[in-house]
Amino acid sequence: MKRLTAITVLCVLFLSAFAAGKGPAGVPGYPDSLRSVWLYTEGIKQNAIARDTVRAREFFAEAIRNDSTFAPAYYEMAANGMYSTPDEAVNLARTAFRLDTANKWYHQFLGQALIYARRYDEALAVYRRLRSDEPQNPDNYRILAALYEQAQQPFSAIATLDSAEVRFGRIPVLSTMKRQLLVATRQMDKAVEEAEAMVEAVPYEAEHHVVLADLYGILGKDSLAKAEYDRALQIDSTDVGTLMSLADFYNGRHDYRAVLDVTQRLFESDKMPLDTKIKRFGIFTSDMRFYREYYPQLNTLASTLAVRYPQDRRVVELYAKHLIASGELEQALALYKLHLDDQPPVEEYFRSVIDIESYLQHPDSVNRYIGRALELFPGQVDFHLSKGHTLNYSKQYPQAIKAYKQSLGYARTDSLRSVIWGFIGDTWHQKATAGEQDIDNNFARAVRKGSFRADMKQCYKAYDHSLRYDPDNAMVLNNYAYFLSLEGRELEKALTMSSRAIALTDNNPTYLDTHAWVLFKLGRTAEAKKVMQQAIALDGQESAALLVHYGDILHAMGEQFMAEIYWRKGLEKGYDADQITRRMEQGKAEKE
């Protein structure tokens, strides 16, 4: 609120005269009574022209030291932020007003400073007086009403706005405040009357019809609400605010087809920001039941975005995910491939193509796109890992190990290095047991192979590397323990690792199975049985291996009948039939 008072103009004239006098350069010749005026004017110049608030504050402060009753200096310091706290601003503004109570700018700024300092009760008193002193200023009514509302005196706020309406007629901002207060105090009929009056006063502004429609909707007068929405759309059929209010109206009545029809109009509008469209689509598709029931309309929405924003990354991802959710995996793949030549190239598109091609079991395509990705993004470790995963899946174990080791050069954290060494160890294990369908029962046979011992040695060495980088890598701890238990060696070490793995995780049934199996190998069958029961319960009896392991433990405890039940359950879940037959025959032979 920077205003030069008449005294400022006068002081400029004074200074011009003094500068032409006989005083030395830079030291104006003036009577002592005008020293504060000169200092004040220099402060104005420093602030307004030189933009040096620090120097300006020094001049204003010196003006006050020279004359503690010089009100303009207090005001300028308060109005231009030359204070350290809001309370200091209040003190400066209050002093200025106390020294010159006839100055309306000082009075108004005191009220503003009190609001800024959140001293609302004091501000309320100031604005009551301002309204009395300046009844012709509608802003005083507006701020006073807001302060009454802040003080939880809504009826006083409404009365203030009523008096403003009597004096000034209808002012849109004050009418809006009044209507909101009427709604807050549940005076809905009066709020409707206020909105109807605004529509009558300004019939060609859509927002007034929307406000009235919203109020009719709250009162359950749906036909009147729809009529007002229609009038608003006749004024501007593309108005985003109107369409969003109409969509909310239909949403409140669970008429989702109408909601989506209105949303389609919003998606076709350039006035609605793309971020809002994407967010709204995400809300619609967060519920899969809703997604399935209204798929045709949601598909139209997604297609609209894809057509209107074909190069926007967010829309490409949105449409591709929509296609995937719709079961159109090949179309999603084609969409991602269409954007692989975008400039600059987008890593996420390559990741998606590689993931989908891997899922579709197209190893040649996977290798091709991994190669392209590595040419463009040679430092991205996940593409090196994808190469290793693909080679592993195609049982090219030496090449997979090589790819994983190359990725180590791009790993930036010890936790990631631990994970990669875990992949290397797993791959050595797969190489060691290649061709064996039932690892548990053919492990002994695999041990007899000449290469097995060397490969497993490399496996354990890789796991040791992994655990040096991250001693709490639960997956490596679990796998290490399990493979040792299958070999039947270093079982105490295996028990320590499996115990740590289950301590690090929240009831992982696979890790509990390993722990139980280690206990079983140690001969602690009762403990193994209890842990295995927990694993099966958490797994929901879905894993064939867990069911067969439990059967083996029951068999070892002499509970043959229950053992056979769980072996059969494992068979139903896909466990190797020959191995189950062999177990059954062994059980019968032991009975005889």
Please compute the mean of the pLDDT values over residues 320-339 and round it to a whole number: 93
Q: Is 80 exceeded by the pLDDT of residue 214?
A: yes
Cis peptide bond N-terminal to 345, omega within 30:
no
Q: Is 70 exceeded by the pLDDT of residue 442?
A: no
Please compute the mean of the pLDDT values over residues 304-325 and round it to a whole number: 94
pLDDT band at 4 (very low <50, low <70, confident <90, very high): very low
Whole-angstrom Cα distance, residue 429 to residue 441?
15
Q: Is 60 exceeded by the pLDDT of residue 436?
A: no
Residue 416 has a pLDDT of: 95
Q: CA of 457: how far to CAs of 429, 432, 488, in Å? A: 9, 10, 15
Whole-angstrom Cα distance, residue 47 to residue 8?
14
Tens-place pLDDT, residues 520-571: 999 999 999 999 999 999 988 888 899 999 888 988 898 998 988 998 998 8
Nearest to 400 by CA among 412, 391, 410: 391
Tens-place pLDDT, residues 241-291: 999 999 999 999 999 999 999 999 999 999 999 999 999 999 999 998 999
Residue 144 has a pLDDT of: 83
Q: Is 70 exceeded by the pLDDT of residue 180?
A: yes
Residue 23 has a pLDDT of: 32
Taking each helix axis as running N to C, give the angle between helix 509-521 and helix 544-556, from 0 to 180 degrees, rounded to the nearest 10: 30
Residue 40 has a pLDDT of: 87
Helix (H, G, I), strand (E, B) or coil at 568: helix
Q: What is the mean pLDDT of the chain?
A: 86
Nearest to 324 by CA among 293, 359, 300: 359
Q: Is 90 exceeded by the pLDDT of residue 369?
A: yes
Residue 361 has a pLDDT of: 86
Residue 9 has a pLDDT of: 34
Residue 32 has a pLDDT of: 59
Taking each helix axis as running N to C, give the angle between helix 544-556 and helix 560-572, from 0 to 180 degrees, rounded to the nearest 10: 170
How many Cα neighbours within 13 Å face the side chain of 551? Answer: 24
Decide: 263 and 279 in contact? Cβ < 8 Å. Answer: no
Please spell the DSSP secondary structure of 560-574, one letter per residue: HHHHHHHHHHHHHTT
pLDDT band at 21 (very low <50, low <70, confident <90, very high): very low
**Whole-angstrom Cα Rg for the chain:** 40
Q: Is 50 exceeded by the pLDDT of residue 171?
A: yes
> What share of the chain in percent tops pLDDT 90?
45
pTM of the model: 0.63
Q: Which amino acid is at 429?
A: H
Please compute the mean of the pLDDT values over residues 400-422 and round it to a whole number: 94
Whole-angstrom Cα distance, residue 453 to residue 84?
76
Residue 428 has a pLDDT of: 96
> What share of the chain in percent tops pLDDT 70?
91
Tens-place pLDDT, residues 68-116: 888 898 888 888 888 888 898 889 889 988 988 888 888 888 888 888 8
Q: Is 70 exceeded by the pLDDT of residue 18?
A: no
pLDDT band at 447 (very low <50, low <70, confident <90, very high): low
Least confident of 162-171, 297-306, 552-561: 162-171
Token pair of 508, please? 């992982």
Please compute the mean of the pLDDT values over residues 403-416 and round it to a whole number: 93
